[in-house]
Amino acid sequence: QVQLEESGGRSVQAGGSVRLSCVAHGGTFMLLALGWFRQIPGEEREFVSAISFTGEQRIYADSVKDRSTISRDNAKRTVFLQLDNLRPEDTAVYYCAAAEFIQNGAWRTQGSYDYWGRGTQVTVTS
């Protein structure tokens, strides 16, 4: 069993940056694929980014590509999401997710992930 705990969410002005962190407790962290999703109230949870267990594959949603970076530190059992040049439409609760195995390259699919955190709020003001 893996427990995920996100942090780093805050209120920030448009054009600013946030660095989200997610610590994993339990499980074999270095073997987990990790992802970030976000959700606005009343809308579906959407994929933001993911990273393979080796760190070699990094996948981004088009909406954040070129202004976000996902990374992992296996020694600290932590995955990070750096979001730059934030826009009001980035306002959401950001969730960390972990998968023991991603089948058929389904990185962007919620069902591919076995474990979820409780989320951290990012609010971007204009």
Tens digits of per-residue pLDDT, 66-115? 999 999 999 999 999 999 999 999 999 999 999 999 999 999 999 999 99
Residue 29, pLDDT score:
86
Tens digits of per-residue pLDDT, 17-29? 999 999 999 888 8
Residue 31, pLDDT score:
87
* Spatial distance between the Cα atoms of 41 and 109, rounded to a whole number of angstroms: 19
Closest by Cα among 85, 74, 86, 116 to 99? 116
Residue with tokens 């474990």: 115
Phi, psi of 21, deg, nearest 5 = -125, 155
Lowest mean pLDDT among 3-7, 11-15, 31-35: 31-35
Kindly indicate the confidence band of residue 121, based on its pLDDT and cuts at 50, 70 and 90: very high
Cβ count near 71 (within 10 Å): 15
Structure-token pair, residue 70: 């996902």
Residues in the chain, how many? 126
Residues 35/20, Cβ–Cβ less than 8 Å:
no
Burial class of 23 by CB neighbour count within 10 A (0 to 12, 13 to 18, 19+): middle
